Structures are given as structure tokens and as C-alpha cells.
Amino acid sequence: MVRPTGSGSAAQKLGMNDALSYLKKARWILPQDKYDDLLQVLKDMKAGRTDTSGVTTRVKALMDGHPVLIRGFNAFLPKGYEIDPPPPPPRPEVEQQRRQQFDEAVDLVDRVKTRFAGDRGVYHSFLDILNTYRKNHKTMAQVYEEVAALFKDHQDLLQDFVRFLPDDGNFGAEHQVGEGDDGKSGCERLLDCLDATKCKCKHLK
């Protein structure tokens, strides 16, 4: 639902980098046709061809099942007209979990890349740590220690990364508590998401 808490006359300020970052995230997640529709919504909104109500209706339909994108789109709306993500429709538990993990992985990687835009070495070190783990050259405990050192002044990023690790903190165990039905740990599924986003955003580089 839309929550008009004020007059809605003053649009929220959105920097160009914020807008580009959001659009890249949307491009990673949405199918091409829905991404194209999103661009058209933004063009119509900028040209005044549709009102706020029309925009929110179209956005909710385009981004159904992607609460991260819906919350991010609120920055494009006038204050007081934020969209509350609707509850996801019933879907098989495994499929829902994988889709949610993918969205969360994209969001985490995007925030790491944006946070360290002025020091790309940190971002690339993060990817190197994960890739070395996938090649069985690091234990889960080593991964945690090295990522914790990278994010020592960014506890929010570290806390979100830890969500991809085994739930019991037993990082050295061969059989991860966080494994799913595909036998992969949460960290490996994060890497799978990274691979997918790299393939989808090559044209943006």
C-alpha cells in the first residue's frame, strides 16, 4: 500500500550516483522487459505524464516479489508517498528462499561496491576472499576473519555478510549447518549470485 503521511509536494532529493546505483541493481534483478518498463515509468514521471498514484501502481506490479527494489524506489517518490512492499505470494519454500537470498546477495554486493567506491581495492579483496574459499584454499573461519578485517569500520556490512555463514558459528566444520538442498553453503550461494550478477551487468561496465 501507499502511505501518504504528508502533502507529498516535496520530492525527496536523490543524487545521480544513487539513481545510477539503483538502476544497476534493478537491471541485475529484473527481466529485461520489466526493466524497460521501469525506465518508461521514470520517464513518464519526469515528464509529468502520470501522477504519483499511477506511478506507485505500476511500480508495485513491476516489482512484485522484490521488496528490496520497492523500498529503494521510494527514494524517487515525493515524501509521504512511500510504498510498503506487499506480502509475497505463496510459492514453494525452496524457490522463495533462493529468490530472497539472490536479492539479498545483490543488495549486499551493491552496498559494498558503493561504500568503497573511493577504494576499489577493498571491493576486489572481498571478491578475492570469496573466490579463494570456493577453490578450497580457505576455511570458513579464515573467510570470516579476513572479511571482518576488511569491514572493521563497517559493522552493518559485516552483519549482513554473516547471514550467509553457518548459523551456529562453526565455521571450520566440513558439513556446513547453512547448507541447502543443493549441498551448498550460504557463502557458496553468495558466490553463485555474484556470478549471475556479473553476467547480467557486463553491458553496464
| Whole-number Cα distances in Å, 28 to 35, 99, 124, 144 | 9, 13, 19, 26
pLDDT at 195: 60
Give the Cα separation of 64 and 99 in Å (integer): 12
Written in H, E and C, the secondary structure of 72-103 is HHHHHCECCEEECCCCCCCCCHHHHHHHHHHH
Give the Cα separation of 141 and 171 in Å (integer): 5
**Predicted confidence pLDDT, tens digits, the chain (205 residues):** 444 433 344 345 566 777 888 888 888 888 899 999 999 998 998 888 988 888 999 998 898 888 888 888 888 888 888 888 876 665 667 677 777 777 888 888 888 889 998 888 998 998 888 888 878 777 878 888 999 999 999 999 988 888 877 654 554 333 332 444 444 555 666 666 566 555 443 333 3
pLDDT at 138: 78
pLDDT at 176: 35
pLDDT at 58: 92
pLDDT at 6: 39
Q: Do the Cβ atoms of 99 and 112 come closer than 8 Å?
A: no
pLDDT at 115: 92
Q: Do the Cβ atoms of 192 and 182 come closer than 8 Å?
A: no
Percent of the chain with pLDDT over 70: 70
pLDDT at 201: 38
Give the Cα separation of 57 and 16 in Å (integer): 24
pLDDT at 172: 39
pLDDT at 122: 92
Domains of the chain: 2-83 (no CATH), 93-204 (1.20.1160.11)
CA angle 72, 74, 78 (to 5 degrees): 155
Give the Cα separation of 73 and 85 in Å (integer): 11
Query: DSSP characters for 20-49?
Result: HHHHHHHHHHS-HHHHHHHHHHHHHHHHTS
pTM: 0.47
